[in-house]
Amino acid sequence: MLMSKQSSQALSAPAPANEPKRWTVGTLTYTTGGLLALFCWLLWGDFGYYLKERSVQPTLLLLLKQYKVSDFLIGLLITSLPQAITIVLAPIISYRSDRHRGKWGRRIPFLLVPTPIAFVSMVGLAFSPVIGRWLHVLLGVASPGETMSIIMAFTLFWSVFEFCTITCNSAFIGLINDVVPRPVISRFFAMFRFFSLGAGMLFQYFLFGKAEVHYVPIFLGIGALYAISFTAMCLMVKEGEYPPPPPPTDPTAGGIGSFFSATKTYFRDCFSKPYYLWIFFSIALVFVAVTPITLFSIYFAKSVNMSMDRLGELAALQLLISLLQSYPMGWLSDKFHPLRVTLAMLALYVIATLAAFLFVHDATSYSFAYVITGTIYGAWFTASMPIGAMLFPKSKFATFDSARIICFSLGMMITGPLAGWAMDRVLHQQYRYIYFFACCFTALSFFATLVVYRRFMAYGGPKGYVAPE
């Protein structure tokens, strides 16, 4: 990758006509070829990363149902457990990576170290039924039972997997914010979505229908591809130089005192200004809205007698449409600003989920609802991805982004088991209510985003915005 280091602003200055165009971000300068090389390595790592992400959860959902796990317990394992880990781990990783300085940069170490551990966790998930049966025999009369032993094995390796995923999530977006020039960042995020959707489409179309039976080679193969691609990205992408980190609030504090001092600084920076609270709230509401859909769309399909092969084909179609729209959505966000495009997508999603709740009653109507609502949500996701990069203070981006993650993690942690309890005890597996829930919370997000937009305009708008600190 062709790049050099020089003192410059984050935005590129116009180059003389006789010189090649260059892009700068921090101390990094890219020619067109260097920028393309950067994109290739980041997107290659992104592909492996999201192939892992988009394969493990749906496969695990299928496996848990084989062992008659209740919707409530599934909500706890698939949403509450990862979000609880996120709430504790994400701010620590983000705060430390913002302040870390080393020869590998400030983000790469937090991406490289968890990668082999994530691969080991996928191997463990692949063999959890075997490990659970072995544990059942080993414990003898003290065993909680073969099925519970298998669930315990799944829980252990799923926890390790999520630990690694959350660590990488907290640093990966920070890396992109540090190395991708501002004038092309929305389009990069669009390509980021393109590759992540492509990974999901390949899994859904070719592998999802086989996951219940062939989960062992699926976990092993995807885990190996992820380990290779993500490690290569970490070794090939170079970070620039950063100014010294801000001094600790209390330089005399040590040990536990240093921890509390850092915690106080974190909460003061992220949660003391209502403007940022509205940003966190507006985004968190959408993640809350889609949590029941994420958890129960597979079971909804089974309830209307749709085969998993057919659901996989529909998921691939929906991802293909989202993939094709990702770059146009990025272009629209660069041209009109991500907040404006986000508002439009939220309005569409409210309408689509309300229609799905009212009119879905069989496999055919569910097919249309699944593809249309999933596509609109994908458009919202693509449009909203650059919001943090555009609105948060650049010097503390990962710290503020972790606060955003904490807020939606809290919402999802509560929503998952609550939705599962409602399905078990109140709604009696009437899964069409997932769309009613999504409609209500997306409408709330729309109004919260309007508040954010008005305050964004007051801080200077698209041409003169300065993030308050």
DSSP code per residue over 442-468? HHHHHHHHHHHHHHHHHTTHHHH----
Residue 196 in this model has a pLDDT that exceeds 90: no
In this structure, what token pair is assigned to residue 395? 């010097």
Mean pLDDT of 96-115: 89
Residue 267: its pLDDT value, please?
A: 83
What does DSSP say about strands 3-5 and 23-25: parallel, antiparallel, or unpaired?
A: unpaired
CATH of domain 3-464: 1.20.1250.20
CA 230 remoteness from chain centre: 16
Residue 233 in this model has a pLDDT that exceeds 70: yes
Residue 126: its pLDDT value, please?
A: 94
Cα–Cα distances in angstroms (integers) from residue 214 to residues 63, 192, 207, 226, in the given order: 11, 29, 9, 18
Please state the φ and ψ torsions of residue 23, each to the nearest 5 degrees: -120, 140
CA 44-48-49 angle, to 5 degrees, is 110
Helices 338-359 and 363-384, packing angle to 10 deg: 170
Residue 277: its pLDDT value, please?
A: 94
Lowest mean pLDDT among 184-193, 291-300, 322-331: 184-193
Nearest-angstrom CA–CA distance, 52 and 49: 5
Cα–Cα distances in angstroms (integers) from residue 90 to residues 261, 270, 409, in the given order: 17, 13, 10
Nearest-angstrom CA–CA distance, 172 and 161: 16
Residue 47 in this model has a pLDDT that exceeds 70: yes
Residue 355 in this model has a pLDDT that exceeds 70: yes
| pTM of the predicted structure, to 2 decimals | 0.69
Residue 155: its pLDDT value, please?
A: 93
Q: Tens digit of pLDDT for each residue in 397-426? A: 778 888 888 898 888 888 888 888 888 887
Residue 463: its pLDDT value, please?
A: 85
Mean pLDDT of 38-53: 89
Residue 146 in this model has a pLDDT that exceeds 90: yes
Residue 7 in this model has a pLDDT that exceeds 60: no
Quote the DSSP letter at residue 77: I
Residue 258: its pLDDT value, please?
A: 66
Residue 250: its pLDDT value, please?
A: 53
Residue 193: its pLDDT value, please?
A: 75
Residue 450, exposed/middle/buried by CB under 10 A (0-12, 13-18, 19+)?
Answer: middle
Residue 248: its pLDDT value, please?
A: 62
Instruction: Collapse the DSSP code of 171 into the 3-class scheme (helix H, G, I; strand E, B; otherwise coil) and give the result.
Output: helix
Nearest-angstrom CA–CA distance, 401 and 3: 27
Nearest-angstrom CA–CA distance, 461 and 392: 14
Closest C-alpha to 5, from 243, 177, 241, 244: 241
Q: What letters, b where the CB count within 10 A reaches 16 and e where it falls short, cover 431-446?
A: bbbbbebbbbbbbbbb
Q: Which residues pair with 28 in a beta bridge?
A: 5, 25
Closest C-alpha to 299, from 403, 432, 160, 195: 432
Lowest mean pLDDT among 14-28, 398-412, 443-457: 14-28
Can you give the residue ranges of every domain in the chain?
3-464
Residue 334: its pLDDT value, please?
A: 79
Mean model confidence pLDDT for the chain: 86
Nearest-angstrom CA–CA distance, 455 and 139: 60
Nearest-angstrom CA–CA distance, 373 and 367: 10
Q: Tens digit of pLDDT for each residue in 321-349? A: 888 888 888 888 878 889 999 999 999 99
Q: How confident is the model at residue 466 (pLDDT cuts 50, 70, 90)?
A: confident
Residue 8: its pLDDT value, please?
A: 37
Residue 366: its pLDDT value, please?
A: 92
More confident call, 103 vs 348: 348
Residue 189 in this model has a pLDDT that exceeds 80: no
Asked whether the CA dihedral 108, 109, 110, 115 is positive or negative, the reply is: positive
More confident call, 188 vs 446: 446
Q: Tens digit of pLDDT for each residue in 245-294? A: 877 655 544 556 666 777 788 888 888 889 999 999 999 999 999 999 98
More confident call, 173 vs 45: 45
Q: How many CB atoms lie within 10 A of CB 183?
A: 14
Residue 320: its pLDDT value, please?
A: 87
Residue 13: its pLDDT value, please?
A: 45
Lowest mean pLDDT among 128-132, 353-357, 426-430, 465-469: 426-430
Q: Tens digit of pLDDT for each residue in 198-228? A: 888 888 888 888 888 899 999 999 999 999 9
Closest C-alpha to 367, from 315, 319, 320, 323: 315
